Amino acid sequence: MSYLEDALFPSEAHVRDIAKQLYNLTRGLPIISPHGHVDLSLLIDNKPFANASELFIFFDHYVTRALHSAGVPLVNVRQGADPRSAWSIFASHWNIFAGTASGYWLKNEFATLFNIHDDLTIENADNIYDAINASLNRPEFLPRALFSRFTIAFLATTDDPTDDVSAHRKISQELSSRIVPTYRPDKYIQVHTPAFVTNVQKLISTAGLIELTFANFMKAFEITRAQFIAAGAISIDIGVEDPYTCELSDAEAGRIFDAVVSGTSTKAEMRDLAGNLLYRLIGMSCDDGLVVTLHAGVIRNHHQQTFEKLGPDHGSDLPLQVEFVRNLKPVLNAYGTDPNLQLILFCVDEAALSRDVAPLAGFYPAVYVGAPWWFIDAPYSLQRFRESTVETIGFYKGSGFIDDTRAFLSIPARHDMARRVDAGVLARLVDQNRISFEQARTIAVDLVTKIPSKAFKL
């Protein structure tokens, strides 16, 4: 795999050399993946992957959205499509992935897992498809074997508060790793959606309560959070368009909640209630200690027709500009110095990472900077992220790298990417006499060990 040897390192020979020395300290270290979307059944069932298309195309919405953007109907490249035809479409569009994050991961996965080093073409598509399929039936390509080969020390899934998360402990023992659920309460705070009240009722029932009251709603959060903690959870993950927070008394919040239930609330009240639910979910962490990861600034299912036909996660979730400093003022004034709270802020708006998030994390002990996410989880974006936040917060108030992926095979490729980019960033700082080589060595290792462990209380 010689061509990957120097991938992503700086170009100047002496800086590249420093980067390689730093990378060599981290390349063998286990992966900590504290936030992601791997389907646990993959590891429970441990069935062979069906074919190359199922592995690399059908469930990777980075790949399917790119093909869709080039004019390929989604139905031709998702579950249900003919896999060999889908692979052929994929191969004929290989060049649209050049320079993209997916393009890099795919190249990396082909090379490291299947020893394929050529660009995909219409001509070699069938051969490569067959070669990959042949590998997939070998025992070392079963999900559990790959899990072990990837040396994943910690893996978090993402789960609904009403999900049964009892399987995590068992699979952890079987794989000699730590695999835990994550509490994801989004749909219980989306006050404006038609299903909100039904969802809340279900949450209340799951918690063993009955009446649809605001007090029971809050108790249901506490009870189900405790259930997740008992199942190993270390964090709660919340996705919002706008990270608006708002303090409300129990009486006022309850009054608005009742109005929502009876369909008589105003838009402004619904906004305040949503902002207050976010405020309270963060506040509860001061008591139960769950790390809060807040993913803000994404509009989900922008293309209604795609959502109606195919459901969510088909590539039409899109970034929004985001503002944290004013929006989080209420909740940070209440809890920002609480020693039990750790609030990690993620967004897809690069400007906000350096302007809002790093300065907030540079003052409030509770605030951490989330790694670049989604569209900006890529080599140049990671480098820009470091260079535009390090001068404010250094390296020690970050979350560590987060892969956030559904694509199981891309986990090592993504973490390897981050380690390479960070080695390059550190090497540049050493070369410019801004930090000592000794510091760089310590930081390189801390970035994949101590720093994520501290941010996620592992």
Which residues within the stretch 312-351 sit at the binding site for its own copies (CB under 8 A)?
315-316, 318-321, 323, 325-326, 329, 332-333, 336-337, 339, 348-351
Phi, psi of 219 (to 5 degrees): -60, -40
Near its own copies in 415-434, by CB under 8 A = 428-429, 431-434
- Residue 396 touches its own copies, criterion: CB under 8 A: yes
| Interaction between residue 10 and its own copies (CB under 8 A) | yes
CA distances from 420 to 164, 379, 423, 438, 441 (A): 38, 9, 5, 18, 13
Q: How far is the CB of 210 from its own copies (least distance, A)?
A: 40
Nearest CB to its own copies, comparing residues 211 and 438:
438
Based on its alpha-carbon atoms, the radius of gyration of the chain, rounded to whole angstroms, reads 23
Closest to its own copies by CB, 208 vs 312, is: 312
| Shortest separation between residue 225's beta carbon and its own copies, angstroms | 24
**DSSP secondary structure of 138-163:** SGGGSHHHHHHHTTEEEEE--B-TTS
Which of 104, 151, 111 minimizes the C-alpha distance to 131?
A: 111
Q: Is residue 95 within the footprint of its own copies (CB under 8 A)?
A: yes
| Pattern 252-291, its own copies, x by CB under 8 A | ----------------------------------------
User: Applying CB under 8 A, does 309 fall inside the site for its own copies?
Assistant: no
Q: CB 291 → its own copies: shortest distance, Å?
A: 15
Single residue of 80, 208, 312, 394 touching its own copies by CB under 8 A: 394
- Four-CA torsion 99, 104, 106, 109, nearest 10 degrees: 160
Q: How far is the CB of 403 from its own copies (least distance, A)?
A: 16
Neighbour tally for 43: CB within 10 Å: 23
- Least distance CB 33 / its own copies (angstroms): 21
Letter for the amino acid at 390?
A: V
Using CB under 8 A, pick the residue from 20, 84, 384, 406 that binds its own copies: 384
- Residues 194 to 253: which contact its own copies by CB under 8 A? none
Nearer to its own copies, 104 or 188 (CB): 104
**Is position 3 an interface residue for its own copies (rule: CB under 8 A)?**
yes
Nearest distance, CB of residue 270 and its own copies, angstroms? 18
Q: Select 180 or 430, whichever has its Cβ closest to its own copies.
A: 430
Contact at 8 Å (CB) between 376 and 428? no
Of residues 231 and 369, the one with the C-beta less far from its own copies: 369
Which residue from 240, 291, 360, 423 is in contact with its own copies, where contact means CB under 8 A?
A: 360
Rule CB under 8 A: choose which of 169, 303, 406, 441 binds its own copies: 303
Does an H or E element contain 310, and which?
helix 304-310
- DSSP H/E element including 14: helix 13-26
Q: Which of 34, 83, 103, 185 binds its own copies (CB under 8 A)?
A: 103
Map residues 19-58 to x or -, x wherever contact with its own copies holds by CB under 8 A.
----------------------------------------
Is 132 exposed, middle or buried, given 0-12, 13-18 or 19+ CB atoms closer than 10 A? buried
The answer to whether residues 256 and 272 touch, using CB atoms and an 8 Å cutoff, is: yes
Shortest spacing between CB 267 and its own copies, in angstroms: 16
Sheet strands side by side (includes 367-369): 235-240, 291-296, 343-347, 367-369
Binding-residue total with its own copies (CB under 8 A): 94
Give the phi and the psi of residue 152 in degrees, each rounded to 5: -90, 110
What SS3 class is residue 445?
helix
Judged by CB under 8 A, the residue of 232, 254, 289, 362 near its own copies is: 362
Look at the block and give the residue holding tokens 């080695």.
423
Among 47, 287, 391, 457, binds its own copies (CB under 8 A): 391
328 dihedral zone (left: phi>0; alpha: psi -120 to 50; beta): alpha
Output 63 or 180, the one with its CB closest to its own copies.
63
92 lies in the site for its own copies, by CB under 8 A = no
